[in-house]
Amino acid sequence: MKKYSSLVEAIDDLRDRGFNNDFNLRENGIECTRLQMQLHPEDFEIVEMHRFEGATDPDDSSVIYAIEGKDGVNGILVDAYGMYANPVSTALLSKLHVKHDGL
């Protein structure tokens, strides 16, 4: 898996590789507002995950997920982790944690 030096570099490369949609976390899944669709944990796979820590503040941390939906929709999800992470469902949290541990 490719290593990135910054979140911006990761976003640019993933977009070049076809992950063109932006997903947002919702309590029970992820949502792409541009496509007006919501995916539940069973509807997508996380194919890559990259974490970045702030240079001066460890609380300034983010994670980017490369996501492939079962329906062929690809995109990225960028979120904070640690104390600033969004609250999500147990099923979604489980999927995200499995990928964190497995990558």
- Kindly state whether residue 58 falls inside one of the protein's structural domains: yes
pLDDT, tens digit, 9 for 90 and up, residues 49-73 = 898 886 655 555 788 999 999 989 9
Q: How far apart are CA 3 and CA 7, in angstroms?
A: 11
pLDDT, tens digit, 9 for 90 and up, residues 84-101 = 555 565 667 676 655 544
- Kindly state whether residue 1 falls inside one of the protein's structural domains: no
Q: How far apart are CA 81 and CA 88, in angstroms?
A: 12
Q: What is the pTM of this model?
A: 0.79
- Please count the structural domains in the chain: 1
- Kindly state whether residue 2 falls inside one of the protein's structural domains: no
- Cα–Cα separations (whole angstroms), residue 43 to 14, 61, 70, 77, 95: 20, 27, 6, 15, 11
Residue 47's domain comprises: 7-102
